Structure 1
Amino acid sequence: MKNRIFYNRVGFSTLLNKEIHRFMKVPVQTVLAPLISNILYMAIFGGMLQTREVGIEGISYLNFLVPGLATMGAIFAAFQNPSFSIISQKFQNTIQDLNSYPISLAEKILAFVFGGMFRGVLVGVLTYAATIFFVGYEVEYPIFFVLALTATSFVFASLGLIAGLVLDNFEKMNFALAIVITPLTYLGGVFFEISKLPGLLSAIKYINPIYPLVNVSRYAYIGVCEGNIVIHVLLTMALVISSFLIAAYIFKKGVGIKTV
């Protein structure tokens, strides 16, 4: 029976609720803080560069900026939830307890990923809601916009789970956030069109997984984006599948969980 993918829905719901409740207990730190940061980005960049022209005809810089900020908020929130949850359990020396949970491997993985995804979508949607004061509420494809934030959050929740399993302390986690994810996010088209970057910086878009995620959200929000939207959607789907499969493989191998 334990070989089934799903066999204990109550146990799965319990672990998922635990992951959601963990960050909802401190909403000021986990939800409000990144939301305020994104609002400040909107106020500062939007205020200083609101007359700046973008390479998309008929689109103001503020409208260009909103989906980027929503995506950025979703990325950091989704990544931090499972990664810090796993590392906290390592710090408390309770990580081995995961082996005794009466739920399937898939249920364990999905509980952590869905918990991070929920937090990412929540921050992303709230970021959009906060920007209504600046640019209004209109979204070109509302359902697609939520799906884009969901896909982004799923990808980075999976990556956050991988990081939590592979890394063994908060210092390494913060290093990964500061040195890897933050630069990729800033160079992923959140604040400006990548095509306007010079030389090598512009070419980074071809290896930056955040670039298609931002463009899918931007297309859903304003109806246009840099590059071919079909290619960006296909890349997003590939990232969703590959990030989850890698997380599942590492989790199944017991990396960071099994004692030596």
Structure 2
Amino acid sequence: MPATRRELVAALGVALGSAGCVSTPSRRSDGATATSPATSSTESRQVSMGTTVTVSGTSVTVENPRVRKAVVTPGMAHTRVVANAGQFVVVDIAVDGATPDQPFDREFRSAVDGETRDGSDPLPTTDAGGYAFALPATRHDRGAIQWATDETDVYWTLPRAVLGSLAVEPIFSVTAFRVPHRDGERVLELTVANEGERDGHFAARASFDGYSGGSIVEFPVPAGESETYTGRPGDVLLYFENHGGETLTVEYPADEGLRSIERTVSSSATEE
């Protein structure tokens, strides 16, 4: 099947005229790669992370890329943890100096190895200004966050360190899961091991059966080590105290998505 104009733009880093003419790359004064179109006003620009680009009066900045095995999103009804078979690159996006409410309308996509990934709309995250792009957890020679407009395709290139982290996943497992009493109140205890070769950011959602809400637990776990969280995350344990014994579920990122583990928690005030 012949390549589309967008695929050729992504692969070659040059613009194609409406009649099929190829533009000539040139070096901009700001260091970005631009094009001098032969018969078209469309161009392709490659810029580094943190660069602000203005197209048709709209200024966009993409910066601060970081790799996550799972991300926390506001969700439709409640905050949730999202994971897939790959990993996410989270970046901070600003449009005209502010966080966009609907970045999807701006046609942001991820691109790796010269191909724009269809269906790679960004997920909003609970990080201020942070949007997550799902990417395959494999080694890539090139990667970028793309903003497509009618006149310009802009690519913010991912640093080598980020591309390297994409290929190496943390491997999380919950090795201890308890809801004991501490100083007269219930707390959640989670011990998490990271058997992978990369430091990871662990994120999990704790909730009760029949409870539409939930609480998020997040903390770093270095490669080859274990870390323990102890605390009262959000309102989930308050719900337990108001309703008695329940089954507590914790969802966390595993190899191919989310894994769920459960504990039945007694309402006994003396149970440890």
TM-score where L is the length of structure 1: 0.24
Greater helix percent: which structure?
1
Greater strand percent: which structure?
2
Q: Larger Cα Rg: Structure 1 or Structure 2?
A: 2
Q: Larger relative CO (CA 8 A, sep 6+): 1 or 2?
A: 1
TM-score where L is the length of structure 2: 0.24
